[in-house]
Structure 1
Amino acid sequence: MSQAHEILERARHARLAGKFEDALRDHLWFHENALETDPSLNGVRLSFALRDWIYLGEQFPLARRALQGLRDRDTARLLNGDATLARFQDISAINGALGEERATHDLFTQIDANLPDLARQCADLALPALVACEDFALARRYLPQPVERIGAMATRLNNFAEELARGGKTSSAPALLAYVLNYAKEVRLILEVLRRQGEDEEVEQAGAAALEQLKSDALRDAVQREFEQPGATIAAMLAQSRNKE
């Protein structure tokens, strides 16, 4: 286990032990330094680590304020010249963890007005916040070819599933599930934008493409379940696991 992993794990144990200041110190270190020791941790840094930080904030309000402070610092840096996709990704992930999607929307509108090249790079990351804030017109501007976009997403899912199948690792099932859930979520966002813009024909075409372009019946079935009942796939896997026990 790397130093960064150990510190993140130490933060979790400190929280569970009620050592909230120690936990916050470790979360701050991990967020600011983990990528220097292990660049592959970016996904963990912006998902599981932030989730644990939010748990800490529920018991220790200073931790939530510290996370908001990091967000505000990075927002100021982005708007004052240090504007990168990675920085926007950090900010949007923190806002998502905090449940403050309006902050991501407001930042993206400023980027859209003043930094159009960066806005094009950040549009995919901003889409959930634009939909949450019901700014469907702005979201639609950054979805010029929704059917083609869904096709590219389906190709990535197909390739990922085929790669896992070639490896023959049953332990990879959670990774495939996460990919399916993210795919279904992104498609739903796109369809919602089109629907709210009154583009019924595009909704039908994009929804059909989302299923037709998947090569596997199992993938199509899983995505269809998620369309009809978000969370159904996870519920089915949990039920299967309980039955085995």
Structure 2
Amino acid sequence: MMQDALDRLDAASELAGDGQFDAALRELQWFHEQALEHDPSLYGVRLSYALHAWVDLGADYQPALDALLATRERDAALLLAGKGKRGLFHDVVAIDEELGQGADTHVLCVALERTDPVLLAACADIALPAIIAAGDYALAERLLPDPGATIGQRSRSLMKTFSRWRRQHARTMFIGSQIGIYAADVRQVLEVLVQRGRHAEAARLRRLAVELIPATTVRRAVRAALYAS
């Protein structure tokens, strides 16, 4: 099933290369709407490579861009009507990122805080980068009711990943990328606290983010990332 879906994604690229833009668009739309029904593990491909291919097609074929924008507006409307979940929110954010329209994500988040604050809170990790990029630290702070718990969850996730991949003799490069993600997540939390004047708490949580990592080599790398000048 996965290969069938990936074959259709590959076909979209070939069709676009041959100038068959409308056929390529149909394949990309199919992938976006139905790929997960074939294999949920395509989640990442769907929101990265496939969307990137769609935006690329839109650069040469305006109807493709129009179709992507219409998909985004449809999904945003569903979210604002209380008919969406985390996956749909992630779809909209991913489209905004590919289009370089993070400001639109922030506008959606402001609206969702009024219409569906529970959903927005559940999507805080996805929403925060755009909110912070917009300089809306007040909203970001509201989405971080317990920064310490957030960092604790991120540290457990890092160590779980590290333990699993160490058993599988993972490459150092992969572990390094996961440490980088953890450090970026922590810095995001610290930035919100600092911008909201919570300097002492930010300093304490920076130390905590290091102390929560029991593996010596990983802890050393985390410390270097969080205390880099």
Name the TM tier (shorter chain): 0.7 to 0.9
What residue number does 1:107 align with? 108
What residue number does 2:84 align with? 83
CA apart distance, 1:130: 0.8
Distance in 2 (alpha carbons) for counterparts of 1:46 and 1:89 = 8
CA apart distance, 1:119: 2.3
CA deviation profile, 1:30-63 (whole Å, cap 9, x unmatched):
0011011111211221122222323333333432
Q: Amino acid of the residue matched to residue 190 of structure 1?
A: V
Q: Amino acid of the residue matched to residue 193 of structure 2?
A: L
TM-score of the pair, normalised by structure 1: 0.82
CA apart distance, 1:177: 4.4
What residue number does 2:43 align with? 42
What residue number does 2:195 align with? 196
After TM superposition, the structure 1 = structure 2 runs for residues 167-186 of structure 1, keeping only pairs within 5 Å, are 167-170=168-171, 175-186=174-185
SS at match of 1:2: helix
Change (3 A) 1:93 1:207: same
Contact 1:147 1:205 in 2 (8 A): no
Which shows bigger deviation, 140-149 or 27-36? 140-149
After TM superposition, the structure 1 = structure 2 runs for residues 51-66 of structure 1, keeping only pairs within 5 Å, are 51-66=52-67
Contact 1:112 1:119 in 2 (8 A): yes
CA apart distance, 1:24: 2.0
CA apart distance, 1:163: 0.7
CA deviation profile, 1:99-139 (whole Å, cap 9, x unmatched):
21122111122221122222221222211111011110011
Change (3 A) 1:13 1:180: farther
Aligned residues with identical type, % of pairs: 38
Distance in 2 (alpha carbons) for counterparts of 1:178 and 1:59 = 34
CA deviation profile, 1:58-89 (whole Å, cap 9, x unmatched):
33343222211100011112223413222112
Change (3 A) 1:178 1:54: farther
SS at match of 2:135: coil
CA deviation profile, 1:221-241 (whole Å, cap 9, x unmatched):
544555577xxxxxxxxxxxx
Contact 1:111 1:119 in 2 (8 A): yes
What residue number does 1:154 align with? 155
CA apart distance, 1:16: 4.1
Distance in 1 (alpha carbons) for counterparts of 2:208 and 2:116 = 32
CA apart distance, 1:175: 4.7
Task: Show structure 2 runs of 5+ residues with no match.
Answer: none
Does residue 15 of structure 2 align to residue 7 of structure 1? Answer: no
Distance in 2 (alpha carbons) for counterparts of 1:43 and 1:112 = 26
Change (3 A) 1:48 1:215: farther
Change (3 A) 1:88 1:184: same
Distance in 2 (alpha carbons) for counterparts of 1:86 and 1:49 = 16
CA apart distance, 1:148: 2.3
Number of equivalenced pairs? 227
Q: How large is the Cα RMSD of the aligned pairs? A: 2.3
CA apart distance, 1:197: 0.9
Q: Amino acid of the residue matched to residue 181 of structure 2?
A: N
Distance in 1 (alpha carbons) for counterparts of 2:146 and 2:65 = 39
Distance in 1 (alpha carbons) for counterparts of 2:62 and 2:226 = 36
Q: Amino acid of the residue matched to residue 219 of structure 1?
A: V
CA apart distance, 1:217: 3.8
Task: Show structure 1 runs of 5+ residues with no match.
Answer: 230-245
Q: Amino acid of the residue matched to residue 87 of structure 2?
A: A
Contact 1:54 1:98 in 2 (8 A): yes
Distance in 1 (alpha carbons) for counterparts of 2:216 and 2:47 = 32
Change (3 A) 1:148 1:91: same
Q: Amino acid of the residue matched to residue 4 of structure 2?
A: Q
Distance in 2 (alpha carbons) for counterparts of 1:51 and 1:175 = 23
Change (3 A) 1:9 1:175: farther
